[in-house]
Structure 1
Amino acid sequence: MDPSPASSLHLRPIRLEDAAEVAVLSGDLGYERTPDEIQAWIDRLTAMNAIAAANPGVVPAQAVIVACEGVSSTAKVVGWIEVSMMRHLQYPDTALIGGLVVSATQRSQGTGRALCRAAEDWAREQGVSGVRVTSRSTRERAHQFYLRDGYARVKTSEVFEKNLD
């Protein structure tokens, strides 16, 4: 991945060894996940993407890109973005940013913008021309970030969920 405008920032695909730092950042986003849960998720993502790579014409369904302070193997993860393909009957294929978080020490330094660019590049590689992001109504700072970054507010929705346990 291309480096961001911040000279010490390095973007790359998520790795198993990132699980602990990614779990902390997920908590910052409001979603508590253990490092073991993150590792299991990365294993599933790796398996799904291996299947896609082995089958011509199959598009990877999802990617996670992390931002690290530097390129060493011990570089600290300071942000991540998750992007996936949305395929629905009623509208063209689109990429969806499912999560974006940057550590408090890195905010307003270009890390979020660099992660968005990486997600947008991934979307283009998958052959889609649009990226969608949803954001909780209370996250006004995030809304302002996306608007500054060229995203447009296109609708307001309610989210309903049903527990199947």
Structure 2
Amino acid sequence: MGKKLILIGLLLVGALGVKAQELNYPVSSGINQLPNGWHKFTHAGAYYDVEISQGHLVKGNVVWFDKATYSGSFGSNKISGKGTYTWPNGDRYEGSFKNNLRHGKGTMYWSDGTKYSGKWKNNSRNGKGKSYDSEGNLTQEGVWEADVLVASKN
């Protein structure tokens, strides 16, 4: 228990130079010193309830200081695999991630009630997908490239 408290203290002291926009990525420093298993700790104002294996984040929940949240899997100490990310304004993405980005199949729910369901690449709509208005009516269907609808389905 004593080593764990010292590590948490070191993580907190090391966080003083971190900029706010960088906090929505998972912590990686110091993780390799924690034993395998579930751990709860804070780092740079973020709360972690995560599983660690071989010095890497595996899965769990993170709540950042701005109230953004992530629940899901990690790869190489980054948000990767399946999960749900919720922004402080209520926008929510459920689906696949790669290297801290929306990537693969997923659905983005905006706080105004609209949504997009389909393929993503590097945080942009990319590939087949559908957009819906706040009433749930289909508004666009087709192929996107870099967030732009390039081919509509008739």
Where on the TM-score scale, by shorter chain, does this alignment land: which range? under 0.3
Higher relative contact order (CA 8 A, sep 6+): 1
Relative to the length of structure 2, the TM-score reads: 0.26
Higher Rg: 2
Relative to the length of structure 1, the TM-score reads: 0.25
In proportion to residue count, which structure has more helix? 1
